[in-house]
Amino acid sequence: STGAVKMQPKAEELKFVTKNDGYVHIHPSSVNYQTRHYESPYLVYHEKIKTSRVFIRDCSMVSVYPLVLLGGGQVHMQLQKGEFVISLDDGWIRFVAASHQVAELVKELRCELDQLLQDKIKNPSMDLCMCPRGSQIISMIVKLVTTQ
């Protein structure tokens, strides 16, 4: 017996959504143009251009934890319909956390990282890997990102 097999979209059919431009496509000159499946639905990009439609270039897939920890803007957490939601960019990007504890820990880790980076800006000679607080925060982030 045979059945239908779901086909991956063609490169020119694959599109993503941005907050300001709506749908965008990966530019044909991009290395990722022929990529038809991403493990994460989120991409970061360097350049956006508009010709026949809006294209992005120099893009890379990014998973949830690096986006939450290193993305711009404030991290917010709220309970919605019994689920703990972590949001970025004034709620435009949203993730459902596995539990309240996970949501709180991720939010707290982001706050600690932001503070650590502020400390580094104030004191550029500070070695983040040698100070106990810095090495703990960096170790936690590496573990989280590599084991997700």
Residues 77 and 138 in one domain: yes
Residues 70 and 85 in one domain: yes
CA-closest candidate to residue 71, choices 79, 63, 59: 63
Residues 75 and 109 in one domain: yes
Task: Identify whether 5 is part of a domain.
Answer: no
pLDDT of residue 25: 93
Structure tokens given for 6? 């779901």
Residues 72 and 15 in one domain: no
CB atoms closer than 10 angstroms to residue 148: 9
pLDDT of residue 41: 86
Task: Identify whether 73 is part of a domain.
Answer: yes
Residues 58 and 69 in one domain: no
Task: Identify whether 4 is part of a domain.
Answer: no
Q: What is the number of structural domains in the chain? A: 2
* Nearest-angstrom CA–CA distance, 27 and 12: 9
Q: How far is CA 30 from the centre of its chain?
A: 20
pLDDT of residue 71: 84
With a CB cutoff of 8 Å and minimum separation 6, the contacts of 59 are: 26, 30, 32, 43, 44, 45, 46
Residues 79 and 46 in one domain: no
Residues 73 and 141 in one domain: yes
Residues 72 and 140 in one domain: yes
Structural domain for 139, as ranges: 65-146
pLDDT of residue 3: 62
96-135 pLDDT tens trace: 888 888 888 888 999 999 999 999 999 999 999 899 999 9
7-16 pLDDT tens trace: 777 777 788 9
Residues 75 and 117 in one domain: yes
Task: Identify whether 133 is part of a domain.
Answer: yes
Q: What are phi and psi of 94, to 5 degrees?
A: -135, 145
Residues 70 and 37 in one domain: no
18-63 pLDDT tens trace: 888 899 999 999 888 888 888 888 899 999 999 999 999 999 999 8
pLDDT of residue 5: 63
Q: pTM score, two decimals? A: 0.75
CA-closest candidate to residue 31, choices 19, 17, 47: 47
3-state secondary structure 43-77: EEEEEEEECCCEEEEEEEEECHHHHHHHCCCCCEE
